[in-house]
Amino acid sequence: MLDRVDLRSVSDIGLLGALATASDGDDVRAAVAEVIADVRTRGDVALRELTARFDGVELVDPRVSRARRTAAVVETAPALREALQLARDQIVAWHEAQRDKEAVQTMRGVEVHEVVTAVDRAGCYVPGGRAAYPSTVLMTALPARVAGVREVVLCVPPGPDGNIAPPILFAAEIAGVDDVFSVGGAQAIAAMAYGTATIPPVDVIVGPGHAYVAEAKRQVFGVVGIDGLAGPSEVAIIADDTVDPEWAAADMLAQAEHGPGGVATLIVWDTDVADRVDLALEMLLMTAARQAEASATLESGGRIIIVDDAARAVDAANTIAPEHLQLMCADADLLVPLVRHAGAVFVGRYAPAVLGDYVAGTNHVLPTGRTARFASALRVADFQKRIHVVRADRDALEQVGLAARTIAESEGLLAHADALRLREEQP
Residue 333's domain is classified under what CATH number? Answer: 3.40.50.1980
Cα distances (angstroms) measured from residue 388 to each of 109, 385, 391, 397, 398: 16, 10, 10, 18, 21
382 domain residue, yes or no? no
List all residues 6 or more positions away from 53 whose beta carbon is below 8 Å from its beta carbon.
Answer: none
Catalytic entry in 95, 210, 258, 324 = 324
Radius of gyration of the chain (CA): 25
The DSSP call for residue 381 is G
Same domain, 305 and 349: yes
> Domain containing 411: what range?
392-425
Same domain, 210 and 94: yes
Euclidean distance between CA atoms 106 and 183, whole angstroms: 49
Confidence of residue 128 (pLDDT cuts 50, 70, 90): confident
- End of a domain among 206, 226, 246? 226
* Residue 273 pLDDT exceeds 70: yes
Give SS3 for 417. helix
pTM score, two decimals? 0.93
Same domain, 259 and 182: no
Catalytic entry in 173, 215, 257, 323 = 323
Helix extents (H) in 99-225:
134-147, 166-175, 185-194, 211-220
Same domain, 219 and 239: no
Model confidence pLDDT, tens digit, residues 329-358: 999 999 999 999 999 999 999 999 999 999
Same domain, 221 and 239: no
Same domain, 237 and 149: no
Report the number of distinct structural domains present in the chain. 3
Same domain, 61 and 191: yes
Model confidence pLDDT, tens digit, residues 87-101: 999 999 999 999 878
379 domain residue, yes or no? no
324 noted as active-site residue = yes
Euclidean distance between CA atoms 318 and 339, whole angstroms: 6
* pLDDT at residue 23 in the model: 54
User: E-strand spans in 188-254?
Assistant: 204-206, 225-226, 234-239
Q: How many CA atoms lie within 13 A of 19 on its CB side?
A: 25
Residue 96 burial by CB count (10 A; 0-12/13-18/19+): exposed, middle or buried?
middle
- End of a domain among 205, 226, 247? 226
347 domain residue, yes or no? yes
35 domain residue, yes or no? no
* pLDDT at residue 101 in the model: 80
Confidence of residue 384 (pLDDT cuts 50, 70, 90): very high
Euclidean distance between CA atoms 312 and 11, whole angstroms: 10
Nearest to 115 by CA among 371, 387, 392: 387
Model confidence pLDDT, tens digit, residues 178-207: 999 999 999 999 999 999 999 999 999 999
Helix extents (H) in 340-393:
353-358
Amino acid at 151: E
Nearest to 21 by CA among 285, 221, 205, 230: 230
31 domain residue, yes or no? no
Residue count (the chain): 427
21 domain residue, yes or no? no
To which H or E segment does residue 38 belong? helix 26-42
CB atoms < 10 A from the CB of 116, how many? 17
* pLDDT at residue 89 in the model: 97
- End of a domain among 164, 194, 226? 226
Same domain, 197 and 301: no
Same domain, 344 and 303: yes
425 noted as active-site residue = no
Same domain, 297 and 363: yes
Same domain, 182 and 286: no
Quick one: CA dihedral 201, 206, 211, 215, positive or negative? Answer: positive
380 domain residue, yes or no? no
33 domain residue, yes or no? no
Same domain, 264 and 341: yes
